[in-house]
Amino acid sequence: MANGNVLLPMSGVKVIDLTWHLAGPFATRLLADYGADVIKIERPKIGDPARNMPPFFQNDPGIERSGLFMFLNTNKKSVTLNLKKPKGIDILIELIRDADILIENFSPRVMDSLGLGYEFLKTINPKLVMTSISNFGSEGPYKDWKATELTTYAMGGAMINTGHPEKPPLYIGAHIPGFHVGTVASAATAISLLGADANGKGDHIDIGAFPVWMGAIDRRQSYLMSHQYTGDISSRPWPASALGTGIWQCTDGFFMTAVGAGLFPRMARMIGAEYLLEQDGWHDAAARSNPDRIDESIALIVPWMLERSKAEARDAAQKYGVYGGPVNNFEDLIEDPHFKERNFFSKLSHPETGEVNYPSFSFNLHLEDTDMPERTHAPLLGQHTSEILEEYLGIKEQELTNLYQQEVI
Amino acid sequence: MVSKNSSKLPLEGLRILDLTVVWAGPYATQIFGDWGAEVIRVESIKHFPSTTRGMVMRPTKKMVSQIGSLSAYPDRDPGDRPWNRVASFNAHARNKKSMTVDMTNEEGQEIFDELLRISDIVIENNVPVSMDRINVNWERVSKVNPNIVMLRMPGFGLDGPYADYRTFGSHMAGVVGHYSVMGYKDESPDMTGNTLTADAAGGAGAALALAAGVRYRRKNGKGIFIEIATAENFASYLGDGILDYTMNGHQQEPLGNRHIVYAPQGVYKCKGEDRWISLSITSNEQWERLCVLMECEDLALDKRFDSELARQKEHDFIDELIEKWSLQKDAQIAMHELQDSGIAAGVVMNEADAFADPHLESRGFWEQLEGVDTGSNLYTSTLWTTEELERSHKWGPPRLGEDNEYVYKELLGFTDNKYKEFENKGHIGMDYDI
């Protein structure tokens, strides 16, 4: 059955990575984590624009100092290639010829204008899986519209439910919209790769950030279904939108709970109010669904929480089976005994920063014959140009020098 | 238009035993089902999975009318079998099958073993203690079928002090620090609300993990055990902020709807109830075009606003200016005017916007499906499209136990008599028996 053992699930998969910024690089980073050889093509001298995006090491900008870039590009190899020169395109085509995967997140039509459309590429590599990531997808009336991460989060729909009902809808923070599109793109690519292997035929995947968010299960799909059932238009819920649900002040921060009428007895026991459950209006889930119960319960929960630390609330919640968790910052996260015990953070050395703690893998492989290999740091711009061109295309020293002089690489 | 060939979907021929609950796990199997895998939900009529098939098993009509719109029932009526009618389940369950077996006893576990032998993947996302109760773990599963891909995705992983902690995606986000970089400027965290993106992230990450696992199995001729802690998977989405802390000791602050570089950026009130337009100005040229659009051309070349840095300083003033304009506008019209001016802008879409959206429509984003207990509804299509494949959903969400005959009789070869016997023993049914 076996046709060539692999150490890791994506071992032996060759990825030509034309992505930049966020979503694309996160997609290829995930593939690289699980064994794929990712060759990151960058513009000579300038590189991926994410190299110039904050946060910078010691707040001091520089193309090898961006924490965002360093996080997104571990385990990859950087090759500089000038795609404005015909020779640059020729070299790229040679690299694609025996690649398994090509990923790009240019605006739609850029690949066609470079002469690298899928219609052409599949003639030189019929098994190629090509993944194109854009804001809206390559088809449809908005395909040429502009978007930032705020735009896709807003249009994607989850934003109308995010924040406080008396305030504007709230952005999800950080680069979460882009990162999530990257995860979906990596899953799409890996799924199509299975098809290409089994059927001997590649495919071209079209990922749009807007449809990805509209189809997300962070409430959105559920609200879309609910709307059809009732005609309701959703908005931002009140923090205490259900019984025992809220974001509560503790002695050292905030603690969140989500309980509801059905599971409320657990919370009643946690806060020493089990006597309630004997009373009219509290004895079963139907009675507890009366919205008046919410206000009455708040009067009991608030003082209980105010007397406890986040850690005490967490331990009590878990003891009684109350769904909840603390509102942490990154210091809390890194010092947290759970993530310490699981070795979730590991040190990675980079020439500019020295050793820095990075979050570990998105998922763990439990393999008998190997541990997860250690990551390599994000590549310096063009760090692997000579190595890759020689290894993959047999381009020798003299020719490499010429290519440098012609500003192709 | 080049006609698509109808070659096989990439996951056709793979059978998944699906023990997932709530959203994160089911999202992974939604994706796999969409792309051709046979997904069999393994459920039990002896156990009601709260929050998976409704908050409570039999909500009254009155309760249903008081439940928020997140997990509504058709026409606000729980019906005879409420568990088949709740939106939060039906939202993800298209293309899946449902069978029932009581795995709290040995007989049920033997049924599960028989299914393991003829399946390719098993996936679950429960707290480990729940799986111990029905004796599902890699040791046992791999003994029955060494060739299987097993994915376990408890919120905090299989070991460590929080292994058995019960949380939803919104809480995992809190634990990994999400709400330290999300929130209104100068407001405390109780105003922030929460997100359930950890579930969407976990589901998508799990889909990647499953595909990776299947490749490993094909290449090596043996199974693989993969663990995804939903909280850890989501922590990666905060990687840049975490690195700012680990390399600089700097905790980033929430920016509200603003951007660290681009200015202005925000969400502005439009005409009507809860209507909003988001916009981001990413260059000086766009700022000038925005000024033209808002009919305040004099500000376009005003020195106070001639760079991102300058506009960051005057952001409050600019916000007021924009909202004065947007308040007079219909949100959809504002979006088109801004996009026509080459500015990144979008309506904060609600459900009505989504179903009326011409872009989603033209991409075939909605698929109509019929359900015995739900009627005819629109379901989101796949998260992505591909050039070579023609596909559509096969059926709507399965009713509890809907595919018992298929699983017991066709797959496991049960006779009518044996099937009846298992009905009587509380394994097979379409109604909870608790």
| Cβ–Cβ gap B225/A67 under 8 Å | no
The per-residue pLDDT of chain A, averaged, comes to 95
The CATH fold assigned to A246-328 is formyl-coa transferase, domain 3 (3.30.1540)
Query: Which range (A50-54, A223-227, A369-373, B149-153) has the least confidence?
Result: A369-373
| Cβ–Cβ gap B174/A363 under 8 Å | no
Are A260 and A268 in contact by the 8 Å Cβ rule? The answer is no
What dotted CATH number matches B15-236+363-424? 3.40.50.10540
Query: How far is residue A29 CA from its own chain's centroid?
Result: 10
Query: Which 46-105 residues of chain A touch chain B by CB within 8 A?
Result: 53-55, 57-59, 67-68, 70-72
Return the percentage of chain B with pLDDT > 70, whole number. 98
What dotted CATH number matches B275-349? 3.30.1540.10
Query: Which 351-370 residues of chain A touch chain B by CB within 8 A?
Result: 353, 356-367
| Cβ–Cβ gap B69/A232 under 8 Å | yes
pLDDT of A140 strictly over 70: yes
ipTM exceeding the 0.95 mark: yes
pLDDT at A1: 37
| Cβ–Cβ gap B388/A203 under 8 Å | yes
**A36 Cβ contact partners less than 8 Å away, ≥ 6 residues apart:** A10, A11, A13, A14, A15, A28, A101
Domains A14-216+375-405 and A246-328 share a fold: no
B86-134 pLDDT per residue, tens: 999 999 999 999 999 999 999 999 999 999 999 999 999 999 999 999 9
For residue B126, is it left (φ>0), alpha (ψ between -120 and 50) or beta?
beta
Strand ranges inside A277-383, DSSP E: 324-326, 345-350, 354-359, 364-366
Q: Domain A14-216+375-405 belongs to what architecture? A: 3-Layer(aba) Sandwich (3.40)
Phi, psi torsion values for B354, nearest 5 degrees: -60, -50
Phi, psi torsion values for A288, nearest 5 degrees: -70, -10
Can you read off the two tokens belonging to residue A345?
């953070």
Residues A238, A236: Cα–Cα separation, whole Å: 7
B268 → chain A, closest CA residue: A168
Domain boundaries, chain B: 15-236+363-424, 275-349
Return the percentage of chain A with pLDDT > 70, whole number. 99
**Is the Cα dihedral B176, B178, B181, B187 positive or negative?**
negative
pLDDT at B261: 92
pLDDT of B222 strictly over 90: yes
| Cβ–Cβ gap B195/A136 under 8 Å | no
C-alpha neighbours within 13 Å on the C-beta side of residue A129: 25
Q: How many C-beta neighbours within 10 Å does residue A154 have? A: 32
Q: Which chain A residues contact residue B198 at CB under 8 A?
A: 218
Interchain CB contact of B305 with A (< 8 Å)? no
Domain boundaries, chain A: 14-216+375-405, 246-328
Residues A60, A216: Cα–Cα separation, whole Å: 37
CA angle B54, B57, B58 (to 5 degrees): 110
Query: Which range (B8-12, B29-33, B62-66, B367-371) has the least confidence?
Result: B62-66
pLDDT at B392: 96
Q: Which chain A residues contact residue B87 at CB under 8 A?
A: 222-223, 225-226, 229
Pick from B59, B87, B383: which is nearest to A225 by CB? B87
Could you report how far apart the first and last alpha carbons of chain B are, in Å? 55
Q: What distances in angstroms separate CA B368 from CA B47, B285, B365, B378, one per listed residue?
A: 31, 44, 10, 4
| Cβ–Cβ gap B175/A328 under 8 Å | yes
| Cβ–Cβ gap B197/A67 under 8 Å | no
The per-residue pLDDT of chain B, averaged, comes to 95
Identify the band that residue B1 occupies on the pLDDT scale cut at 50, 70 and 90: very low
pLDDT of B50 strictly over 90: no
Pairing relationship of beta strands A246-250 and A101-104 according to DSSP bridges: unpaired
